[in-house]
Amino acid sequence: MTIRIVRGNPTPEELAAALAVVRARAAAAAGPPGAPAARDAWSDPARLAARRLPALGPAAWTRTYWPGS
């Protein structure tokens, strides 16, 4: 990472404070170390729960697993 001062003359304390903020933001965006990777949408059970229930009727059991059938 390269940071360049384009205007002004910051003191060493001001520069250190600005760099601390930038590093803290970068660390927060990266997430905690050892955190599990985000779940894939395919394996997310909420994907199936968001769909509407099949219509009721004598053959409703055939539509319970395959939505839209």
Q: What is the pLDDT of residues 19-69, one digit of tens each?
A: 999 998 888 877 666 666 666 777 777 776 666 666 677 777 766 665 554
- The pLDDT confidence band at residue 16, using thresholds 50, 70 and 90, is very high
**Per the domain annotation, does 4 fall within a domain?**
no
Structural domain for 58, as ranges: 12-63
Query: Is the per-residue pLDDT at 1 higher than 70?
Result: no
Task: Dihedral sign for Cα 56, 59, 63, 65, please.
Answer: positive
- The whole-number pLDDT of residue 51 equals 63
**Reported pTM:** 0.42
Number of domain units in the chain: 1
* 7 burial type by CB count under 10 A (0-12 exposed, 13-18 middle, 19+ buried): exposed
Closest CA to 2 of 14, 25, 20, 19: 19
**Per the domain annotation, does 59 fall within a domain?**
yes
**Per the domain annotation, does 5 fall within a domain?**
no
- The whole-number pLDDT of residue 69 equals 47
**Per the domain annotation, does 6 fall within a domain?**
no
List of residues 6+ apart from 15 with CB closer than 8 A: 5
- The whole-number pLDDT of residue 5 equals 85
